[in-house]
Amino acid sequence: MAKQKKMVEAITSMDEDFAKWYTDVVKKAELVDYSSVKGCMILRPYSYAIWENIQKDLDARFKQTGHENVYMPMLIPESLLQKEKDHVEGFAPEVAWVTQGGQEPLTERLCIRPTSEVLFCEHYRKIINSYRDLPKLYNQWCNVMRWEKTTRPFLRSSEFLWQEGHTMHETEQQAIDETLGMLKIYADFYAQTLAIPAIIGQKTEKEKFAGAKATYTIEPMMHNGVALQGGTSHYFGDGFAKSFDITFTGRDNTLQYPYQTSWGVSTRMIGAIIMVHGDDNGLVLPPKVAPIQVAIIPIAQHKEGVLEKARKLADSLSQTFRIKLDDSDNSPGWKFSEYEMKGVPLRLEIGPKDIEQNQCVLVRRDNREKTVVCLDNLMEEIPKQLQAVHDGLYQRALENLKEKTHTAHNYEEFLEIAENRPGFIKAMWCGDVACEEKIKNETGGVKSRCIPFEQEQISDVCVCCGKPAKYQVYWGKQY
Amino acid sequence: MAKQKKMVEAITSMDEDFAKWYTDVVKKAELVDYSSVKGCMILRPYSYAIWENIQKDLDARFKQTGHENVYMPMLIPESLLQKEKDHVEGFAPEVAWVTQGGQEPLTERLCIRPTSEVLFCEHYRKIINSYRDLPKLYNQWCNVMRWEKTTRPFLRSSEFLWQEGHTMHETEQQAIDETLGMLKIYADFYAQTLAIPAIIGQKTEKEKFAGAKATYTIEPMMHNGVALQGGTSHYFGDGFAKSFDITFTGRDNTLQYPYQTSWGVSTRMIGAIIMVHGDDNGLVLPPKVAPIQVAIIPIAQHKEGVLEKARKLADSLSQTFRIKLDDSDNSPGWKFSEYEMKGVPLRLEIGPKDIEQNQCVLVRRDNREKTVVCLDNLMEEIPKQLQAVHDGLYQRALENLKEKTHTAHNYEEFLEIAENRPGFIKAMWCGDVACEEKIKNETGGVKSRCIPFEQEQISDVCVCCGKPAKYQVYWGKQY
């Protein structure tokens, strides 16, 4: 006989070592495997299924707002990448270069796309002629590559999966509306689907995207108080259009440059899910993207009728929910741990006594609350409980965000918080990059997260230099 | 005022110049654009939407049969590619090599995956330990790259999108069943979804996949009689497992090698759709993958109530079907041509007289048959008509396949058919690769398509050398 499956092993506690806890969860929940190419990871079935649920939800939001999907080539000729000066400076240092095709060296080297602005621009130049061709609202789901030195699963990897929207508009205002509209879609998605609250706002000049006029960002806070840039939306003005000579005949019959945006989110969101919702027992998945929403665990399954009843339940519930029945010969205790590690939102226990009484037990992953439910009411009770898990996760994350957001009125206070209290720091800023540099250097890496849309007037002067303040900024360390 | 949109231009006739007709359709139906990287194409919204419908249908078939999706890295270290001898010989000449990452030259060059057998093997080595871990039924949707010298949109391009299934099994029989089962899924998909009939069978030794023990294929015939390899399913035996040292503890407690398969189809299928169903007015799309199933064209739309009624219809039908209402100020005649070019299966015309009589006109794309339909019956009539288009397309393709399949009893007959009659040739074969070579050389490229599962006994001897025949083979030129 083969050996019994090993028990679910304990993982490092979050409070003890958050980084190790993260690596343990990623491994034990079977989310990724490392590959033999440095910094490139394998998405195993369980994490890829999360990604598919994310894609399905986001893609519907994009299509509802008039966007169409396309697919651009993965290779970019060096000369094309160089057409927009700021853009190439931002990306050229971190791309992978193809120099040989088949048996022959290439006459011009090609980079694997780190992002696809230049490819979209080249295509738009050909297909945009009149204001009637605008807006163009394109998106693509693809892999991109950035040659990172230090990598971590989901958070920073050389290759990752993402979506990148690229749109062209007749007027500046329309492009700005699109940029902010897509940021709103990301914020709604984070809240409604991932159960993650976040700060939204504008990046400072220093932190904006290479080639953009303005970058907007969504910044969720991880359980340990560290920020993760969760998604960005860029307004380009007509800078790329001018570099790529994209013009259209306007309503007044003059030749004009269109206004451009781009916006993207990636598999990094899975990292956010892990670090916002996870606990010492492993993953905790928001019900809307959980590959398994309800794990059915038969109790005393060797007793007559138990497995039969569990299978019937699984068959009927599978029509509506993502269900996994575990009828393996592992013990119920082992199964409880296993599906807790995998973050399954609800566990459904059913044993001989339950069957006698036409009931089962539902257990929430987020707070382990148990509810005895009549089998006739399951179709109403499961959605209610899934929603309760979603709301519970959102509420807990919101409390964490509030609790770990601090206000600094002066520089001493700022340094004290940066040193001792993990989280975001709200403080005023003069708008000078020198203050950003100084803060970063003197705090071991605290950077401006964003200038939030909802501004608070904490004081009149910059927390760093004391000159008149222009903005309230959220500051924090980041992944 | 901007200029009126130009009329749909006529395209080259199929019979006059099939290659030019193909290029015209691809361009006029706005399926692809060329990029500045040789052999890499841009999938525009209309073709990408076809691909999404293909993916959705196939992915459901894969999942129903227990397969899970994963994502592997896009780069393969040269040493990993070289682990299986036949495989590297087959692929190394046609890969793109990354030699520089960021600012530094790499110590080992990495190829962009032409296919991912070696990556799956490396992962399987780590996660397969016991017979309890088998079967592993993984699939991935991704881009791959093969450095082609001559390229043509969809049919042969350096980069293309596909799915690749890679599975591992406890026994030889289970792996063979999987190989043939997936070929069956492809054949069903071609018939039921793409409305394309095809020959299925086994590739000869000469034509099989690099590293496989056996390759099975689905071979649809294009309208002009040329074959397109439509999808393949490979049985590997335990060859890769041995090269990669993948072992598991069997039920009898001995260490064993698992048996492996792989199978794939690609965006090339869109090329098959174009060339099997298209006509001199453009694309003709099978209803199940058509991005627009019904184009609603208002007639005399300036008259009171017409646009209002058309919009109401579009809104209500959109709940169930993929609908496009064209309320632009182009003429109805222009719109008819436009949606014919785009291959929309059904056109719905509605004008003032129709509205008076509570009716509309449905026109089939495949045969232009018109039906006057009471508006109250649309929900029943549209699915019926879509099915009729599907059946009509399948039937027409089947007749083309039959009509252009010829039987050669001897070599003179074979050469005469190859010279004068486009299509497949059924003929007997001794099993010797020398005869395949001779036939190819003396016919300007006729190759064995496959040894079909349904064998016919045409004669006792090989059509080429006269020695005893082993198999009946389908022969033909290919894209």
Element counts in chain B: helices (H) and strands (E)? 14, 23
- In angstroms, the separation between the Cα of residue A452 and the nearest Cα of chain B is 33
User: What is the phi/psi pair of residue A20, to 5°?
Assistant: -70, -40
B37 vs A: CB within 8 A: yes
A69 touches chain B (CB under 8 A): yes
Do A246 and A258 form a contact (C-beta atoms < 8 A)? yes
Nearest to A260 by CA among A341, A356, A167: A167
E-strand spans in A170-282?
199-202, 214-219, 231-237, 248-249, 255-256, 259-266
B98 interfaces chain A, CB cutoff of 8 Å: yes
CA B162 to chain A, closest CA, distance in angstroms equals 13
Q: What is the pLDDT along chain A (479 residues), one digit of tens a residue?
A: 333 444 456 899 999 999 999 999 999 999 999 998 888 999 999 999 999 999 999 999 999 999 999 999 999 999 999 998 888 888 888 999 999 999 899 999 999 999 999 999 999 999 999 999 999 999 999 999 999 888 899 999 999 999 999 999 999 999 999 999 999 999 999 999 999 999 999 999 999 998 899 999 999 999 999 999 999 999 999 999 999 999 999 999 999 999 999 999 999 999 999 999 999 999 999 999 999 999 999 999 999 999 999 999 999 999 999 999 999 999 999 999 999 999 999 999 999 999 999 999 999 999 999 999 999 999 999 999 999 999 999 999 999 999 999 999 999 999 999 999 999 999 999 999 999 999 999 999 999 999 999 999 999 999 999 999 999 999 999 99
Task: Tell which B residues from 219 to 278 touch A, by Cβ distance under 8 Å.
Answer: 249, 251, 253
Lowest mean pLDDT among A208-212, B87-91, B418-422: B87-91
The SS3 of residue A13 is: coil
* Cβ <8 Å between B33 and A127: yes
Q: Identify how many contiguous H helices and E strands chain A contains and give both numbers.
A: 14, 23
Asked if residues A112 and A95 have their Cβ atoms less than 8 Å apart, the reply is yes
Which of B37, B145, B157, B326 to mutate: most A Cβ within 10 Å? B37
Chain A residues in contact with B2 (beta carbon < 8 A): 130-132, 249, 251, 253
The residues in B 112-141 lying below 8 A from A, measured between CB atoms, are 112, 119, 122-123, 126-127, 130-132, 138
What is the structure's pLDDT at B219?
A: 98
CA pair distance B99, B95, nearest whole angstrom = 13
Q: What is the pLDDT of residue A37?
A: 87
- Residues A8-24 as b or e (16 or more Cβ within 10 Å = b): beebbebeeebeebbeb
CB contact under 8 A, A2 and B127: no
Task: Give the residue among A274, A300, A299, A260 at the shortest CA–CA distance from A393.
Answer: A274
State the average pLDDT over residues B81-85: 89
B281: Cα separation from own chain's centroid: 22
pLDDT at residue B3 greater than cutoff 60: no
Q: Which of A157, A73, A75, A160 is nearest to A112 (CA)?
A: A75
According to DSSP, residue A152 is labeled B
Chain A residue numbers with beta carbons less than 8 Å from the beta carbon of B162 are: none
Q: In sequence order, what DSSP letters do the residues of B160-224 get, joined into one string?
A: EEEEEEEEEESSHHHHHHHHHHHHHHHHHHHHHTS----EEEE--TTTS-TT-SEEEEEE-B-TT
pLDDT in the model for residue A148? 86
Across residues B133-151, what is the average pLDDT? 95
Yes or no: say if B327 and B85 are a contact pair by the CB < 8 Å rule. no
Q: Which uninterrupted H or E stretch holds B314? A: helix B306-317
Flag whether residue B75 sits within 8 Å of chain A, measured between CB atoms.
yes
pLDDT at B9: 61
Q: pLDDT band for B316, please (50, 70, 90 cuts).
A: very high
Does B71 contact A161 at a Cβ distance shorter than 8 Å? Answer: yes
* Contact of A391 with A426, CB cutoff 8 Å: no
Residue in this structure with the two tokens 């986001």, named with its chain if needed: A58
Give the count of beta carbons closer than 10 Å to the beta carbon of residue B440: 16
Strand, helix or coil for residue A116: coil
How are beta strands A359-364 and A370-374 bridged, if at all?
antiparallel
Among residues A140, A65, A412, the alpha carbon closest in space to that of B52 is found at: A140
Q: Which residues contact A158 (CB under 8 A, 6 or more apart)?
A: A37, A38, A39, A40, A96, A145, A146, A147, A148, A151, B101
DSSP codes joined into one string, A241-271: HHHHT--EE-TTS-EE--EEEEEEEETHHHH
Q: Is the ipTM of this complex over 0.85?
A: yes
Residues 6 or more apart whose Cβ sits within 8 Å of residue B225: B404, B421, B422, B423, B424, B476
Contacts of B359 (CB under 8 A, 6+ apart): B372, B373, B374, B375
**Nearest CB partner across the interface for A96, out of B3, B72, B98:** B98
Query: Phi, psi at residue B309, to the nearest 5°?
Result: -65, -45
DSSP string, A442-477: HHTS-EEEEEESS-----SB-TTT-SBP-EEEEEE-
The 10s digit of each residue's pLDDT in B119-136 is: 999 999 999 999 999 999
* Res B205 pLDDT > 90: yes
**What pLDDT does residue A6 have?**
44
Question: Is there a contact between B74 and A40 if contact means CB atoms under 8 Å apart?
Answer: yes
Q: In this prediction, what percent of chain B has a pLDDT beyond 70?
A: 98
DSSP secondary structure letter of residue A279: B
Both tokens of residue B49? 């939407």
pLDDT tens string A192-237 = 999 999 999 999 999 999 889 999 999 999 999 999 999 999 999 9
Residue A9: per-residue pLDDT: 61
Q: For the beta carbon of residue B7, count every other beta carbon within 10 angstroms.
A: 12
Cα R_g (chain B), whole angstroms: 25
How does pLDDT run across A285-314, given as a tens digit for each residue?
Answer: 999 999 999 999 999 999 999 999 999 999
Q: Which of B37, B103, B122 sits opposite A73 (nearest CB)?
A: B37
The percent of residues above 90 in pLDDT, for chain A, comes to: 93
Substitution target from B4, B34, B75 for chain A, most A beta carbons within 10 A: B75
**Res B4 pLDDT > 70:** no
Residue in chain B nearest A98 by alpha carbon: B98
Tell me which chain A residue has its CA closest to the CA of residue B72: A42
d(CA A147, CA B37): 21
Rounded Cα distance, B19 and B224, in Å: 10
Minimum distance, in Å, between the CA of residue A461 and any CA atom of chain B: 41
Residues 164-223 of A with CB under 8 A from B: none
Q: B187 near B282, Cβ under 8 Å? A: no
Contact assessment for residue A410 and residue A466, using Cβ atoms and an 8 Å cutoff: no
Place of tokens 């990556």: B119
CB B421 within 8 A of CB B406: yes
Residues forming beta bridges with residue A202, ordered by sequence position:
A216, A451
The whole-chain average pLDDT of chain B stands at 96
* Most A CBs within 10 Å, among B32, B35, B127, B146, to test the A interface: B35
pLDDT digits (tens, 9 = 90+) for B239-256: 999 999 999 999 999 999
Inter-chain CB proximity B45 and A138 less than 8 Å: yes
Neighbouring residues of B316: CB distance < 8 A, sequence distance ≥ 6:
none
The region that residue A143 occupies, defined by phi over 0 for left and psi between -120 and 50 for alpha, beta otherwise, is beta
